[in-house]
Each structure stands twice: as structure tokens, then as C-alpha cells.
Amino acid sequence: VLIVSKLLKTIIVLLIPLFLALAWAGGEVRKKEAMTQRLGNISIDIEGVVPIDEHLYQGHRKDHPEETLYLAHSSHPSYGGPLKVAAVVDRQKQIQYLAILDSADTHSYLDKVVGLGILDQFTGKSIEQMPEVDGISGATFSSVAIINGVESAVQKIRSAKFGMPVMEKQEPAATPETFNIILICMFFLSALVITNKRFKPKRKARAVLLMLSVITLGFWLDIQFSISTVVSLLSGYWLKGMATYTASLCLVLAVIVFIVTKKNLFCTFICPFGAVQEGLGKITGCSPPKQKRWMDWIARTWVLIVLLAALYFQTPSDAMYEPFSMAFNFIGSGITYGLTILIVFASLAIKRPWCNLFCPVKSMFYYFRCARKIFEKQTKYQFVQIKKELEQ
């Protein structure tokens, strides 16, 4: 039974990357077919859309073939990956429609940005005098990507159809990417130092590091990787451009450190959401939950299903169900709000309820642990074989 169980585990570990690759490939095919269709769907008032140049199209108003419309789309890096914006301009050089065609960002952030009228500030304006629109704090990456996308799409129409010069580009809001990257590296470095055998005040140092993490990575910068970061990385959005790589770097560092040191330093020493739960648990001095094996397996299967679905539909933001943004930035749906409240109260009765019961990071590290064991055994076996051959 033990051998069969181990064999089954090995097969599952090897099959998971194959399934993920297949889901991603299916999603890529599905996505390519959709773009031209979306341009035609910006409004029922637009018809006869045909490509005339790269990312540039021409159409006309419904039932008015003489009223030519020029359409262009442009893609810019946003938080979750590229964000695609389309602009529709008439012959009088007026912006008639603006549309967000595709985005990998969390919908609640986009809802906020669009709800505050970022697109409406451009529509109806002449492309000869583009308005200066500022980014929106709390959703800086998405808003800057939209502004840049609109400007680039309009620029394509300006140059190609009206022979107008390149307009002065509005400088996007500076993002403290370098600072964030250094900060993340410092956190991992500190965690490594604390785990060193020679380092004595381990508990105090860990408490300080977790507190700092809540303040900086949580409330101040809202940096935390989630399952949507995993989807963005697996989808290859980091190759197409992302507005920030901090969460991805955090994920990559967590995995590398885990593979090298065999320790999950992120969850134990860095995760701000875990720190909040642990802090609440200290008030009552509660203990970890009592888990059944089936609960672990359901949680792992859940993560796999979510990853496969998000890779197939090419929507990393749809995979996001962790309440991090709600806990630290108060952004999310009503359900996420309810989930956050549940976790906060549960933390008073059970130590780290989310981390222990349902956090996808736990399932992810379980996979890496299994994969590493298989790889280690394989390497060990090969090493023994080579040694035997050399001795003969």
C-alpha cells in the first residue's frame, strides 16, 4: 500500500506541470481569436471593422458608411500583466469611445479606477489637445496603465491617419519598485539570519520581523503574493511586461529559499496576513486547528482546479480569493469582506486559521516538498549507480 501510495504521489507530482501547461496552451489559443471580435463589440454603433495597419483598424457608424471611425489598441504593463486599451476616433478628431479590452488586474481595482471616471476624462475630447489625467492613488498601477494605453492608442491614430506629431508624453507616477525589491530581499535575508543556529534571540527577532512585515508589506505597501501571482508567472505575463515585479519576486524568493534551505521562511517569518492572525491568536493563546487528512487534500485539489481554470481562461485576477487586499487596503468584494471578518474572529479561537486550513501557499509548498523529495531520491539513486559503475 505504501509503495502504491508513493508511486501515485510521484505520478501526480509529474503530471501537475503537464496539466498546467495544457491549460495554458488552450487559453492562449482561445485568447487569440477574441481580440478583433472585441473591437467590433465596443459599441453596436460601430460596424465594418477591418485592420488597416498593425493594431490599427477602420470602421464606420452603423448605417452611415460615410462616417468613418478609426480604431487602435495598445497594451501597457499593469499590476497583474498587460492591460489592453482601445480608442475610437472620428474624422473630426474627437475621441468617441474608449474601452478596456483585456486585463489581468483584480476587477475590484479596475472597478474603482473606471468608477472614478478615468476613461470619461478622455472621451469627447479632441485628439489635438489631450487632457492631462492623473493616476489614482490606491490603484496606481492600473490607472497609469490605462492612461498610457489611451495615449498610445490615440497616438497611433494621430500619426497614421492625421499626420500629427508625437504628443508630449505624460510622465507616469514614479513607482518605488527598487525600494520594494530591496525591502523584500531584506526581509528574506533577516529571516535567514534568524534561522541561523548561532542566532539566539529567535522568538523576539521573529516577532519584530512579523510586526515590521505587517506595517510595511501589509498596511503601507500592500505587497503580498497570491495565487494570481502564481498564475501571472505561469502565464508568462512577466515576459510581456508588468508594472511591478515585487510580488512575483517575493514568490520566486520564497520558492528558491524553500528549495535550498528546506524551510518555508515566507509563511513563518514574513507573511503579513499570517502575522496578523498570529497576533490575534496571542491575545487568547489559542492552539492550531485539528485537521483531518481529507481537508488537506481538498485544499490541494482546490488550488489545482483554480490554477487550471485561471490558466485556461487567462484571467489571473479571477483566481484571487485570498483576503489580503481587503485586510490591508480595504479593496475587494462583499464576500471577501465577509471572509476577512470570519478569519479575524476565527484567529481568536484557532491559531492562524487561514494559513493552517486553506491558504493556497501551504498547498503550493507541499507540492514543492514532494517534488524535491522525488528529485533528491532520483539524484541519490543516480549517484549510487555511477559510484557502482566506477567501482566495477
Between 246 and 314, CB nearer to another protein: 314
143 to 182, contacts with another protein by CB under 8 A? Answer: none
**Residue among 19, 26, 40, 304 that touches another protein (CB under 8 A):** 40
Percent helix / strand / coil, the chain, rounded to 5:
60, 10, 30
**Residue among 100, 212, 271, 311 that touches another protein (CB under 8 A):** 100
294 to 353, contacts with another protein by CB under 8 A? Answer: 295, 298-299, 302, 306, 309-310, 313, 315, 318-321, 333, 335-336, 338-339, 342, 346, 349-350, 353
Q: Give least dist CB 299 to another protein, A.
A: 8
Burial class (CB in 10 A: 0-12, 13-18, 19+), 81: buried
Considering only the stretches 118-126, 175-183, 187-195, 253-261, report the one whose residues sit in contact with another protein under the rule CB under 8 A. 118-126
Q: Is 66 left (phi over 0), alpha (psi -120 to 50) or beta?
A: alpha
Q: Give least dist CB 55 to another protein, A.
A: 16
Supply the Cα-derived Rg of the chain in whole angstroms: 25
For 350-359, give one letter per residue: b (16+ CB within 10 A) or e.
bbbbbbbbbb
354 to 383, contacts with another protein by CB under 8 A? Answer: 354, 357-358
Distance CA 67, CA 78 (A): 34
For 6-23, give one letter per residue: b (16+ CB within 10 A) or e.
eeeebeebeebeeebeeb
Q: Which residues contact 320 (CB under 8 A, 6 or more apart)?
A: 106, 226, 227, 228
Q: Is 191 one of the binding residues for another protein (CB under 8 A)?
A: no
Q: Is 123 one of the binding residues for another protein (CB under 8 A)?
A: yes
Q: Is 192 one of the binding residues for another protein (CB under 8 A)?
A: no
Q: Which residues contact 278 (CB under 8 A, 6 or more apart)?
A: 210, 347, 351, 352
Q: What is the residue type of 7?
A: L
Q: Give least dist CB 345 to another protein, A.
A: 10
Q: Are 86 and 240 in contact (CB under 8 A)?
A: no
Q: Is 124 one of the binding residues for another protein (CB under 8 A)?
A: yes
Grouping H, G, I as helix, E, B as strand and the rest as coil, residue 366 is helix
Between 31 and 377, CB nearer to another protein: 31
Between 202 and 282, CB nearer to another protein: 282
Between 10 and 302, CB nearer to another protein: 302
Binding site for another protein (CB under 8 A): 30, 33-34, 37-38, 40-43, 86, 94-103, 107, 110, 114, 119-120, 122-124, 287, 289-292, 295, 298-299, 302, 306, 309-310, 313, 315, 318-321, 333, 335-336, 338-339, 342, 346, 349-350, 353-354, 357-358
